[in-house]
Amino acid sequence: MRRVFVASAGLLKVGDHWEKSVGDLAIEAGLKALGDRKAERIFVGNMFSAALKQEHLGALVANGLGLVGMPACKVEAACGSGGMAVSLGYLAVKSGEFGSVLVIGVEKMRDLMPSASSDALAMAESYEYTQFFGGTFVSLNALLTSYYMKETGASRRELASFPILAHKNAVTSEHAQFRREISYEDVERAPMVSTPLGLLECAPTGDGAASILLVDEETIAEFDPPYVELLSSEAAVNRFSLYQRDDMLDFYATRVAAERALDKAGIALKDVSFMEIHDAFPVVAALALESMGVSKRGEAAKDAMEGRFDLGGELPILTFGGLKARGHPVGATGVYQVAEAYLQLKGVAGKNQVRDAKFGLCQNTGGIDTTTVVSVLRRVEG
């Protein structure tokens, strides 16, 4: 088995890219990571392309990158598509079958009308049941939020600490979609989307693409230290629909994937320097942290309000703005997270740099913890 390293990364600014297609975005991001190099395999994380009438993204992107003849395919796991593409890329290099693998996450959401975008997101849930009865992804998370507050006593104001923190970190994040701070009052005044979730508590739609080049231990020597090693990348699934679960406040897939990833990385949770978590909604961020054992049940929002997860806090999270402010081009999010972890561990995160960052953890979810991928990375001095 080989060691796996992130050799380079490419990030596009999340936002409105009206003049570019989903293929254009993926190719641009891929070129940023490749430079003048080639890759032996390509994985493209994406969820929405069928809604845009464009499938077969692997071949499309390989052609655009001039890598005809290389194996390439699209990877889909709802909003966890990017994380799953990273996991497959990791395994391809780890096995020794490939010395270099290009992983791209891409999504083109703004070309769709809001109703079509909502329908596409709902495909992460059951078509026969949830969608049939009109349940949207936002409404499901709104119900979960209400249940969480009732069961734990957490307040909406406490939960708002997550989007407020995300926006604070995004101010100095060049690839972020919304580079401005928000306040508790802004959250409370925002239009209601699905009670109790307002506009500023929901990750936005946006276009974007990110890429990473994964290489083996021999190839990484061609790059400059410090190096960033991808120690593990583990995936797990939960019972498919939220209402089927024995405990809706236990993100089982996140818990299992995190335990496996930390175990295979050979580190403990206390060793992690920072986390990029899947904060599509405040309650999702809270439950991710609680299920991984970072916070006690019902207390993650209080921890956030008290500054525990600030950039200079005990365990920084959402260091470039997270899903809420960096943006959430769904199939690309998991790759953005790993690319951001690479910047942190390489020590080139600029004003978003976490001091003395040695280990990073990325948690990317499809559905409501239906599929979760957790990846652990570390800084290697060379």
Catalytic sites, residue numbers: 79, 328
What element of type H or E holds 166?
A: helix 161-170
Q: Is 312 helix (H, G, I), strand (E, B) or coil?
A: coil
Number of Cβ within a 10 Å radius of residue 241? 16
Q: Estimate to the nearest angstrom the gap between the alpha carbon of 192 and the chain centroid.
A: 25
Alpha-carbon distance 29 to 198, whole Å?
32
Of the candidates 209, 213, 225, the one whose C-alpha atom is nearest the C-alpha of residue 37 is: 213
Burial of 310 (0-12, 13-18, 19+ CB in 10 A): middle
What DSSP character marks residue 341?
H
Q: What does residue 194 show for φ and ψ, rounded to 5 degrees?
A: -155, 110
Specify whether the CB–CB gap between 298 and 306 falls below 8 A: no
Q: Is 217 helix (H, G, I), strand (E, B) or coil?
A: coil
DSSP notation for 18-69: TT--HHHHHHHHHHHHHTT---SEEEEE-SSGGGGT---HHHHHHHHTT-TT
Burial of 295 (0-12, 13-18, 19+ CB in 10 A): buried
Alpha-carbon distance 33 to 9, whole Å?
5
